Every structure is written in structure tokens, then in C-alpha cells.
Amino acid sequence: MTDKPEKPKRKQQVFTLLVEVGRKAGDGLPEGCTGAGLLCYASGVDEAEAVRETVAILKQADLAPLDVTGYGTLEERLAQGDEIDGTERALMQRALDENAVIVAQMTPFDD
């Protein structure tokens, strides 16, 4: 029996994601809208994991994810010149602490 070398544990990070969702029966979106944009903070070891977890959670909530746009980690966003207030930072920290997906904002789409 050989000892496998331990893989270094990859650090969880929080990613800012914008998820477009379409309509689905029982989705809870406002009547008359065609879908919505959800601003989410999701933890993961990389952006791909954060996206997978976010899509899975939204599907469990009877939403229909159509497209996900990633805006990076807190550090990446700061490097791009984004201004991030205390409320947004607190939500990011909560996502990290709870290893969770936080939906920070929902904007319904109307035609």
C-alpha cells in the first residue's frame, strides 16, 4: 500500500455572478415578466465550481438558469476599479463563511 501525497487544499473564494433566468412554472417570478437577472455571490475553489453550484441551487429553487456571466473575485473586481461598498462586502463574506450562494438582487425582465 502506497501513501498518496496529500493534495494541497485549495482555498475557497467568492465570485460575483450575474445569472439570467427564464420563466418556468412555479418559479415565483412576478407575473408578466419574461425572466430575471440575479446578482449572486457564490463560493468555490474556482469560478467554474461557483457557477456549477449556483446553477444547481437555482434549479432546486424551480428557476430556469439560461446564462451566467462571471465578474471575478473581490480582489479581481477591485483591480478592475470596481467600487464595492460595505453591504456588498458583507454579503460576499457571508457566502464565504457559509460556503453558500447568496442572491443579492433580482431584477425582473419585461418585454
- Residue 75 domain flag: yes
In this predicted structure, what is the pLDDT of residue 7?
67
pLDDT, tens digit, 9 for 90 and up, residues 78-99? 999 999 999 999 999 999 999 9
- Residues 28-41: tens digit of each pLDDT: 999 999 999 999 99
Does residue 100 form part of some domain? yes
3 belongs to a structural domain: no
Task: List helix spans (H) across 5-82.
Answer: 47-60, 74-79
Supply the range of the domain harboring residue 99: 13-25+32-109
- pLDDT cut 90: percent of the chain above it: 86
The answer to whether residue 90 sits within a structural domain is: yes
Q: Give me the sign of the Cα torsion angle 69, 75, 80, 82.
A: positive
Residue 91 counted as domain residue: yes
Q: Is the pLDDT of residue 75 over 70?
A: yes
What radius of gyration, in Å, describes the C-alpha atoms of the chain?
16
Count of domains for the chain = 1
